[in-house]
């Protein structure tokens, strides 16, 4: 199953790193880019993740419109495709030429129509396809490496070239959120070129990154299948964070190795034929040029072990059950679990839902994450608990049928054809998902609803759509005081409690803090933080795990004293927290002692 050469030995012009959130896509993408630059290649590293952390990894601000040269790695430049910046630039291109030429009311209407989440996504996607098709960019760099958003968002991004290309081919008149369709010949050609580039195995390779965990490997297999359906066949698998062998008799370390081995022995059929590489778990945070350079290039320094002796420390913090006590006090409400991909949002959401249900409350557990599988976390039926998923495809079809049966009911043949054409736009999905999201928010007025959200960037786009709807309703209402919008319910802590989930590591805590600031700018105050999968709370004795555990202490203190109004810690467990019994054990787990 292993390849004779590793993934960075077979890099084409374009290389995509994708996978479930938190599997290490950014670290591997950055390390690969540094290695290629060290070999004298000109490399552009691009983040398509709305919650990109390239700036933190390299310790410098990364450009959003022009690439930034990376100090210490000659030949390497990095670029963030920031959705909001791309959307503003897109709006300026569309609206700028008509300012002063058209009445202010017409210009204002154009800006309003281009203010939604759909425009934001399309603008970012436009930047993405430009990088795939721009001959000047292709001539400037030997390799362009994409550090992508978590799987669900990335698959949608990769599907959009085909979706918009097909839409533009089939619809030559009218308008969309891209602008008047008749003037989009350039985009049509660009999207066709993007589709061809993605499908060309000589130019494009996708690296499926996974942890040695069943859920992450299953996600990689689903992604591989969907990519193959898109014509993207040049794929490789990298299993990151494998617990190395050691002489330690630490039960936690042994459990990690057993879990890794078991997961890899049950590798999904769709992955078995792929060339596969393995990267061991490291003791330190993968931040900085030198550390990332050591991730792929062996040196005299042992990157797997900590050499210094550390003192024991006791982690004593509130449990998840303590937070549920306070949530339960209101008798109903929406609990939104947010965070970057891979931090364990699904597990925490499932644990909160199961705990509330075990106390006799009717609970609805749902998710907005295209790649989430909350039912798998529950693993069995639980009394008082309903489990669902906001499926973008199903919601889009439901929305289309509703519009056709209402607005399209009395239209003539030509009018209905135009309506059906409009509903074929990929933007229709954003509207449909927002409507389903709003329905769930309202449900929280009568019962407990626990929502496992998509990774940060995708969730912020959904909240942006909610904010746009709120502003539009208020602007057109004759009596705004009598209006209650979904955004107003999200802003009310008596109706909605936002739980931010983070891992106790430097980068995840910084990313969670940035998410908190994004929420505050929308007048949403996070209710609590959950520090998940803490080794410090699990009490390891293996040198590698002890080093990682002690690096957590400062981050836990930062959350406690600087960032969170209330918080809880859940430990890393020897067995995956799947099923009601394991989830309740996680919820009630107390702290542990870290020993050397």
Q: Which stretches of 401-510 are assigned E, i.e. beta strand?
A: 448-452, 496-502
DSSP helix/strand/coil, 35: helix
Q: Mark the ranges of the chain whose per-residue pLDDT is less than 50.
A: 1-3, 174-184, 299-313, 456-457, 469-470, 592-596
For CA atoms 522, 527, 532, 536, give the dihedral sign: positive
Task: Tell me which residue has tokens 């596969």.
Answer: 276
Contact assessment for residue 460 and residue 339, using Cβ atoms and an 8 Å cutoff: no
Residues catalogued as catalytic: 22, 24-27, 49, 507
CB atoms within 10 A of CB 30: 31
- If residue 18 lies in a helix (H) or strand (E), which one and from where to where? strand 14-18
- Output the pLDDT for position 37: 92
Contact assessment for residue 195 and residue 165, using Cβ atoms and an 8 Å cutoff: yes
Q: Which residues partner with 449 through β-bridges?
A: 334, 364
- Output the pLDDT for position 558: 93
- Output the pLDDT for position 165: 54
For CA atoms 522, 85, 511, 257, give the dihedral sign: positive
Contact assessment for residue 219 and residue 213, using Cβ atoms and an 8 Å cutoff: no
442: CB partners within 8 A, 6+ apart: 486, 489
196: CB partners within 8 A, 6+ apart: none
Q: What is the pLDDT of residues 256-272, one digit of tens each?
A: 898 889 889 998 988 99
Cα-Cα end-to-end distance for the chain: 37
Report the Cα 209 to chain-centroid distance in Å. 14
For CA atoms 117, 123, 126, 131, give the dihedral sign: negative
How many angstroms separate the CA atoms of 124 and 10, rounded? 28
DSSP helix/strand/coil, 77: strand
Taking the C-alpha atoms of 126, 131, 136 and 137 in order, what is their torsion angle to the nearest 10 degrees?
Answer: 150
- Output the pLDDT for position 508: 81
In the chain the domains, ranked by start, together with CATH numbers, are: 7-88+123-176+184-296 (3.40.50.300), 320-594 (3.40.50.300)
CB atoms within 10 A of CB 493: 14
Contact assessment for residue 347 and residue 583, using Cβ atoms and an 8 Å cutoff: yes
Q: Which of 368, 395, 366 is nearest to 456 (CA)?
A: 368
167-179 burial, b for 16+ CB within 10 Å, e for fewer?
bbeebeeeebbbb
Task: Tell me which DSSP letter residue 562 carries.
Answer: I
Please state whether beta strands 448-452 and 333-338 pair in parallel, antiparallel, or not at all (unpaired). Answer: parallel
Task: Provide the token pair at 237.
Answer: 């698998």
Task: Provide the token pair at 137.
Answer: 């960019």
- Output the pLDDT for position 177: 46
Contact assessment for residue 440 and residue 486, using Cβ atoms and an 8 Å cutoff: no
Task: Provide the token pair at 99.
Answer: 């300012």
| Per-position DSSP letters for 341-368, written without gaps between them | TTS-HHHHHHHHHHHHHHTT--EEEEE-
What angle, 0 to 180 degrees and rounded to 10, lies between the N-to-C axes of helices 456-476 and 151-170? 60
Task: Tell me which residue has tokens 């330690």.
Answer: 248
C-alpha distances in Å from residue 351, one per residue of 64, 347, 447:
38, 6, 17
78: CB partners within 8 A, 6+ apart: 33, 44, 45, 46, 47, 54, 58, 62, 63, 67, 68, 70
Task: Provide the token pair at 557.
Answer: 């203190």
């Amino acid at each position: 199953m292993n390849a004779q050469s590793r993934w960075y030995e077979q890099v084409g012009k374009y290389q995509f790193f994708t996978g479930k959130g938190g599997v290490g896509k950014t670290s591997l993408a950055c390390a690969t880019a540094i290695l290629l630059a060290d070999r004298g290649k000109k490399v552009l590293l691009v983040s398509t993740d709305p919650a990109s952390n390239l700036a933190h990894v390299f310790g410098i601000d990364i450009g959003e419109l022009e690439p930034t040269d990376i100090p210490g790695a000659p030949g390497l430049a990095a670029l963030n495709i920031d959705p909001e910046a791309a959307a503003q630039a897109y709006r300026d291109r569309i609206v700028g030429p008509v300012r002063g030429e058209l009445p202010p009311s017409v210009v204002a209407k154009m800006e309003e129509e281009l203010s939604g989440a759909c425009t934001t996504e399309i603008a970012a996607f436009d930047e993405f396809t430009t990088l795939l098709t721009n001959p000047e960019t292709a001539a400037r760099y030997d390799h362009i490496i994409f550090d992508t958003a978590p799987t669900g968002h990335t698959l949608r991004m990769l599907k959009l070239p085909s979706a918009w290309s097909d839409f533009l081919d089939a619809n030559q008149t009218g308008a969309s959120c891209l602008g008047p369709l008749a003037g989009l010949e350039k985009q049509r050609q660009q999207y066709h070129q993007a589709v061809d580039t993605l499908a060309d195995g000589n130019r494009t390779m996708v690296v499926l990154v996974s942890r040695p965990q069943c859920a992450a490997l299953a996600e990689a297999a689903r992604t591989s299948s969907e990519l193959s359906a898109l014509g993207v066949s040049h794929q490789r698998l990298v299993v990151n964070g494998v617990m190395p062998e050691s002489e330690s008799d630490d039960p936690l370390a042994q459990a990690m190795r057993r879990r890794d081995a078991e997961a890899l022995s049950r590798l999904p059929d769709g992955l078995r034929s792929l060339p596969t590489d393995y990267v061991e778990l490291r003791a330190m945070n993968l931040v900085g040029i030198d550390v990332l350079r050591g991730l792929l290039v062996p040196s005299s320094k042992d990157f797997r072990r900590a050499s210094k002796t550390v003192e024991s420390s006791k982690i004593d913090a509130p449990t998840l059950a303590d937070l549920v006590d306070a949530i339960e006090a209101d008798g109903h409400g929406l609990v939104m679990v947010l965070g970057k991909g891979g931090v364990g949002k699904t597990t925490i959401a499932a644990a909160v839902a199961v705990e509330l249900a075990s106390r006799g409350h009717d609970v609805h557990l749902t998710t907005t994450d295209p790649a989430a599988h909350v039912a798998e976390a529950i693993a069995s039926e639980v009394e008082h608990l309903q489990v669902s998923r906001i499926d973008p495809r199903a919601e889009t079809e439901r929305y289309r049928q509703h519009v056709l049966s209402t607005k399209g009911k009395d239209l003539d043949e030509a009018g209905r054809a135009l309506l059906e054409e409009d509903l074929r736009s990929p933007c229709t999905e954003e509207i449909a998902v927002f409507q389903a999201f709003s329905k769930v928010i309202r449900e929280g007025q009568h019962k407990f609803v626990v929502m496992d959200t998509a990774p940060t960037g995708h969730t912020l786009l959904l909240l942006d759509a909610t904010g746009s709807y709120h502003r539009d309703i208020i602007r057109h209402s004759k009596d705004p005081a009598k209006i209650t919008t979904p955004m107003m319910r999200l802003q009310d802590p008596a109706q909605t409690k936002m739980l931010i989930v983070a891992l106790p590591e430097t980068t995840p805590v910084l990313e969670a803090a940035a998410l908190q600031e994004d929420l505050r700018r929308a007048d949403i105050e996070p209710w609590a933080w959950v520090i998940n999968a803490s080794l410090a709370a699990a009490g390891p004795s293996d040198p590698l795990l002890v080093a990682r555990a002690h690096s957590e202490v400062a981050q836990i203190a930062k959350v406690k004293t600087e960032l969170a109004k209330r918080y809880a810690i859940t430990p890393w467990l020897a067995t995956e927290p799947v099923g009601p019994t394991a989830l309740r054990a996680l919820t009630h787990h107390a702290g542990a002692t870290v020993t050397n």
